[in-house]
A and B are shown apart, each in its own frame.
Chain A
Amino acid sequence: MLYLLKLEFLKINNYRPFIVMMILYLILLPVSLLVAKSLPEELAAIFSTKEFYTFPNVWRYLGYIGNWLGFFFLGFMGLLSVTMEFSNKTLRQNIITGLSRKEYFFAKLIFITAISLIGTFYYFLSGTLIGLFHANPYYMDVYTQGLMFYISSYFLMSFAYMSLGLFFGMLVRRTGFAVFTFLAYSVFLERVIRGIHMYYIESRTALFYPVNAMSDLTIIPFPNIANTVISEMDFNPFLTSGEAIITVTIYTLIFLFVVYRLMMKQDL
């Protein structure tokens, strides 16, 4: 396992797009939340820093930001990690050199697991620090309240976005086109399909699509808004945490299975 992880590390340790994305992700995660400090006075009355920065709210807000960042940065990193190897033909070369196709698949799997773990640990660290600075007074039981749940959802979300990226990268192969397909599907196509689904079968089944489920993994942090939306509709337009976790897990397994099959069966 370490052998494969080290191999992946050797590949990206001076690959600039990758490093830039990782750094941006790490900077933007806490900074996006902290800019709320500079909100105008009127808004600050509604969303006081207390709302944003204290336990357990900080987990939700930071998770919500992490979800957006995860979609872009982690998704792209997953995608790039294979398309760069297709465009440089180094995937081919890795196999010629002696890596088995299975080892190659597991190298990528271990790689996205490692990056997701780093992201999740960073989420935990930023959340803890921001919370500690703004907790007054500080209670241990408030800090740990729901902590395991937030952290595991965050990890699942990161891992799922990276699997989605890996899936599009493996399927499309060419970087530019893969990025386009990834965005077109996630931002546009899935919504259109869900719209059509909603039009013909008006039910909650339209919520169980991969990207929608991934975005519902982190609970919408504005409870007031959420409740208004819910009360105006006949049903809850968001997946519950349990539903989201199960849906995302199933989709992620499917994506990884497809990646595995493509890796084992295709000409490279």
Chain B
Amino acid sequence: MIVLQTKELTKRYDSIKAVNQLSLQVEEGQILGILGPNGSGKTTFLGIVLDIIKKDSGDYNWFEGKNGRNVRKKLGALLETPNFYPNKNAQDNLKIIAHIKKVKNPRINELLEITNLAHRKKSPFRDYSLGMKQRLGIAGAMIGNPDVLIFDEPTNGLDPQGIAEIRETIVNIGKQGKTIIMASHILDEVEKVCTHVSIIKNGNHLISGSVGSIISDDVQVEIAATNMDGLKNIFSNDSRISKLEEKEGKLVLNINSEFPTIEINQMAYNNAIVLTHLVVKAKSLESEFLEIVSKN
């Protein structure tokens, strides 16, 4: 089933197009990372599909329109900073969420246990640290055990331990077969957590696919020698190299896997150049991302 489909969603703020003709599709069971630099329109996009921001044009529908119009009661979402009633404690705040969602048995204590807040459930929200607020936000999103969860920068502002905890929580939720849409500007996070990724920049949709397909099979090899010009000449016309660039005194070759490094070394040697440096780097989402973003 298609959980969320958007068609050419557009939102303008004055002359800036925060979201520009964005068409995306999220299928059941995916953990989709929406990846983009700060200000690329991730939150605006999620805001539109959650009805807190009004679109200018385009359309979206949840669950192929099968679950009626008021579908948000069946989603769990944490957008930007978690917002709760500051003078109410964790328990009472979650009760309000359960009331809105009409969840009969919200198992609040269990959720507070999972998010490690049980010991502070009676303290008012305003006294919470950033990490605790974020965790309460996640507990809030999980009320009613929704099949689809939406997280916007869930690890923003957390310390390393908090980041690890939240990522683990999200991965565990994903393992239960739930659909997760997560916006993030941290590549590493998307790579570690998500099964699919959509990259957006300046409100434009650049590319979508599984994390594996976006990260191509290309391998990067860094080589260096005393005679850099000679080295460059050897490899500049090889069809097996998709891209060649000089960076920080090293030559970076983007090669496909049929070009073993032993051959690279051999070719240099045959041309009377001895390599001083040879490192094989699997391409990360980061370099792929920078490549995609800079191309557009």
Q: Which residues of A contact B (CB under 8 A)?
A: 3, 6-7, 10-11, 14-16, 88-90, 92-101, 265-268
Q: Given the complex, which residues of A lie within 8 Å of B283, measured CB to CB?
A: none
Contact B75 A88 (CB under 8 A): no
Chain B's closest residue to A103 (CB) is: B70
Please provide the chain B residues from 251 to 267 with a CB less than 8 Å away from any CB of chain A in the complex.
none
Contact B92 A95 (CB under 8 A): no
Q: How many angstroms from the CA of A89 to the CA of B88 in the assembled complex?
A: 14
Contact A3 B50 (CB under 8 A): no
Contact among B69, B72, B82 for A95, CB-based, below 8 A: B72
Contact among A3, A90, A98, A267 for B84, CB-based, below 8 A: A90
Contact A96 B84 (CB under 8 A): no
Give 25 A-B contacts (CB < 8 Å), ordered by A residue.
A3-B99, A7-B96, A7-B99, A7-B100, A10-B92, A10-B95, A14-B92, A88-B84, A88-B86, A90-B84, A92-B79, A92-B83, A93-B82, A93-B83, A94-B100, A95-B50, A96-B50, A96-B77, A97-B72, A97-B140, A98-B70, A98-B73, A99-B100, A100-B69, A265-B54
Contact among A11, A96, A267 for B96, CB-based, below 8 A: A11
Q: Given the complex, which residues of A lie within 8 Å of B75, measured CB to CB?
A: 98
Contact A89 B83 (CB under 8 A): yes
Q: Given the complex, which residues of A lie within 8 Å of B54, measured CB to CB?
A: 265-267
Q: How many angstroms from the CA of A90 to the CA of B75 in the assembled complex?
A: 17
Q: How many angstroms from the CA of A6 to the CA of B95 in the assembled complex?
A: 11
Chain A's closest residue to B51 (CB) is: A95
Contact B87 A95 (CB under 8 A): no
Chain A interface, >50% SS class: helix
Closest 5 CB pairs of A and B: A98-B73, A89-B83, A93-B83, A98-B72, A268-B52
Check if B85 is an interface residue, CB within 8 A of chain A.
yes
Q: Which of A14, A15, A89, A96 has the most CB of B within 10 A?
A: A96
Check if B101 is an interface residue, CB within 8 A of chain A.
yes
Contact B96 A10 (CB under 8 A): yes
Q: How many angstroms from the CA of A11 to the CA of B97 in the assembled complex?
A: 11
Contact B52 A95 (CB under 8 A): yes
B contact residues, total (Cβ < 8 Å): 31
Check if B102 is an interface residue, CB within 8 A of chain A.
yes
Q: How many angstroms from the CA of A237 to the CA of B264 in the assembled complex?
A: 99
Q: Given the complex, which residues of B lie within 8 Å of A16, measured CB to CB?
A: 87
Check if B272 is an interface residue, CB within 8 A of chain A.
no
Least distance between A17 CB and chain B CB atoms (Å): 10
Contact A14 B87 (CB under 8 A): yes
Least distance between A8 CB and chain B CB atoms (Å): 10
Contact A97 B101 (CB under 8 A): yes
Least distance between B121 CB and chain A CB atoms (Å): 15
Please provide the chain B residues from 81 to 138 with a CB less than 8 Å away from any CB of chain A in the complex.
81-88, 92, 95-97, 99-102
Least distance between B253 CB and chain A CB atoms (Å): 47
Q: Given the complex, which residues of A lie within 8 Å of B84, measured CB to CB?
A: 88, 90, 93
Q: Given the complex, which residues of B lie within 8 Å of A95, measured CB to CB?
A: 50-52, 72
Chain A's closest residue to B44 (CB) is: A267
Q: Given the complex, which residues of A lie within 8 Å of B207, measured CB to CB?
A: none
Least distance between B267 CB and chain A CB atoms (Å): 58
Contact B85 A100 (CB under 8 A): no
Contact among B47, B83, B95 for A88, CB-based, below 8 A: B83
Q: Given the complex, which residues of B lie within 8 Å of A268, measured CB to CB?
A: 52-53
Chain A's closest residue to B81 (CB) is: A89
Q: How many angstroms from the CA of A268 to the CA of B44 in the assembled complex?
A: 11
Least distance between A81 CB and chain B CB atoms (Å): 12
Contact B95 A267 (CB under 8 A): no
Q: How many angstroms from the CA of A95 to the CA of B75 in the assembled complex?
A: 11
Q: How many angstroms from the CA of A94 to the CA of B50 in the assembled complex?
A: 11
Contact A14 B100 (CB under 8 A): no
Contact among B50, B52, B82, B87 for A15, CB-based, below 8 A: B87
Q: How many angstroms from the CA of A3 to the CA of B100 in the assembled complex?
A: 8
Q: How many angstroms from the CA of A6 to the CA of B99 in the assembled complex?
A: 9
Q: Given the complex, which residues of B lie within 8 Å of A7, measured CB to CB?
A: 96, 99-100
Q: Given the complex, which residues of B lie within 8 Å of A267, measured CB to CB?
A: 47, 52-54
Q: How many angstroms from the CA of A96 to the CA of B99 in the assembled complex?
A: 14
Contact B88 A96 (CB under 8 A): no
Contact among A3, A11, A96, A98 for B85, CB-based, below 8 A: A11
Q: Given the complex, which residues of B lie within 8 Å of A6, measured CB to CB?
A: 99
Chain B's closest residue to A265 (CB) is: B54
Chain A's closest residue to B86 (CB) is: A88
